[in-house]
């Protein structure tokens, strides 16, 4: 699809399994939020389809036999309105009504016929709202105004409101980006547990790889309007589709080699490959797959200590810098001579120049 004449989404294909959480990960400007708006019905498609629960929400209309209409003209396009899709959405800024109490904000997410016409909630709505506030752990805040709440509490109100109509799909746009680091970790763990308990199909947008891997049963990575790869976090990390993706979902270095089937011969020795290749390649190296031993031709250039582990930047004799991660405090100082070895686990390689 295009906005202002410029294409925004292309080959943006993804599947969210029922009751599972799909993280939509990518750099700023890649089309993540636009794709979420397309799923919600807030943005119309120029081409392609959106199917929720087996029902066509957007796309070309189909004939009764399932084939597109063929009357010599383009088939009519379906676009189900956002409020008819059974989709709940939590926006990046939460979009709470500042003049309404927490309970009234949550009640606004109820079906129109159940919404109160005043600040006094009718009994059925009040019961449903109380259950939702209990669910997200803020029942005691029912009569407070959003402006008096912390960022984490406001985020919970927005989540309760999105869950009020019992949506079949929940969409979240950068839901934790406005929280500080400590609170973000705490709230996302609570939200992950809640989503698992409710078994709600969820798609959430993030640019944070850690967040995507922690919350997503599967992760779809976007770049330049296209979904590059969708898989479980483990598969994305261990078998990235290309070298850009390898670096985007984790620390990644490469070493030059020559592949002969399922072995690549490098300056660090032969390395086993997950898939056979032939010719000049660059072999993927993750920092945790490398080990250092005292004495050797490589030199420690820089050290980053994180408490639970240490990341070494090591320069090999050819001048290339590789990263090596080891548990605990640093064992080697800057300038130390070390030898680098690989774990022997099967890895992947990219054709040189690809």
Task: Quick: pLDDT tens for 298-331.
Answer: 999 999 999 999 999 999 988 899 999 999 999 9
Q: What is the pLDDT, as a whole number, of residue 148? A: 93
115 vs 20: which has the higher pLDDT? 20
What's the pLDDT band for 340 if we cut at 50, 70, 90?
Answer: very high
* pTM across the whole model: 0.86
The pLDDT assigned to 123 comes to 55
Joined together, the tokens standing for residue 85 give: 């899709």
Q: What is the mean pLDDT of the chain?
A: 88
pLDDT tops 90 at residue 128: no
**pLDDT digit string, tens, across residues 208-220:** 999 999 899 999 9
- pLDDT value of position 5: 53
270's tokens: 């032969």
Q: What is the pLDDT of residues 69-113, one digit of tens each?
A: 555 566 788 999 998 898 998 887 778 989 888 988 998 888 776
* pLDDT computed for residue 298 by the predictor: 95
Work out the number of other CB atoms within 10 angstroms of the CB of residue 8.
20
Average pLDDT over residues 31-49: 90
Domains and CATH numbers, the chain: 2-243 (3.40.50.300), 253-351 (2.40.50.140)
Query: Is 63 a residue whose pLDDT tops 60?
Result: no
B/e letters for 51-85, b = 16+ CB within 10 Å, e = fewer, are ebeeeebbbbeeeeeeeeeeeeeeeeebebeeeeb
How many other CB atoms are found less than 10 A from the CB of residue 105? 25
pLDDT reported for residue 203: 95
Return the pLDDT at 67.
Answer: 58
The residue-averaged pLDDT of 232-249 equals 95
């Amino acid at each position: 699809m295009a906005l202002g004449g410029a294409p925004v989404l292309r080959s943006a294909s993804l599947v969210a399994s029922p009751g599972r959480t799909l993280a939509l990960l990518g750099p700023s400007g890649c089309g993540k939020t636009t794709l979420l708006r397309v799923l919600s019905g807030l943005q119309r498609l120029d081409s392609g389809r959106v199917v929720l629960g087996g029902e066509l929400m957007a796309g070309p209309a189909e004939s009764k036999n399932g084939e597109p209409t063929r009357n010599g003209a383009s088939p009519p396009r379906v676009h189900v309105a956002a409020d008819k899709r059974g989709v709940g959405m939590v926006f990046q800024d939460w979009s709470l009504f500042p003049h309404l109490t927490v309970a009234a904000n949550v009640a606004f997410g109820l079906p129109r016929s159940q919404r109160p016409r005043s600040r006094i909630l009718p009994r059925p709505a009040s019961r449903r709202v109380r259950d939702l506030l209990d669910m997200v752990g803020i029942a005691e805040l029912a009569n407070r105004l959003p402006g008096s709440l912390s960022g984490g509490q406001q985020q919970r109100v927005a989540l309760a409101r999105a869950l009020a109509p019992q949506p079949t799909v929940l969409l979240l746009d950068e839901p934790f980006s406005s929280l500080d680091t400590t609170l973000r970790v705490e709230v996302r763990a609570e939200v992950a547990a809640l989503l698992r308990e409710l078994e709600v199909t969820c798609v959430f947008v993030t640019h944070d790889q850690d967040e995507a891997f922690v919350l997503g049963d599967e992760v779809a990575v976007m770049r330049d309007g296209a979904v590059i790869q969708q898989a479980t976090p483990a598969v994305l990390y261990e078998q990235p589709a290309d070298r850009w993706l390898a670096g985007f979902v984790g620390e990644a270095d490469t070493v030059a080699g020559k592949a002969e089937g399922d072995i690549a011969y490098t300056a660090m020795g032969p390395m086993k490959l997950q898939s056979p290749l032939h010719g000049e390649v660059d072999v993927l190296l993750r920092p945790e797959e490398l080990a250092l031993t005292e004495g050797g031709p490589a030199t420690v250039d820089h050290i980053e200590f994180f408490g639970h582990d240490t990341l070494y930047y090591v320069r090999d004799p050819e001048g290339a810098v590789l990263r090596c991660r080891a548990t605990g405090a640093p064992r080697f100082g800057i300038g130390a001579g070390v030898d680098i070895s690989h774990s022997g686990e099967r890895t992947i390689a990219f054709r040189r120049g690809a």
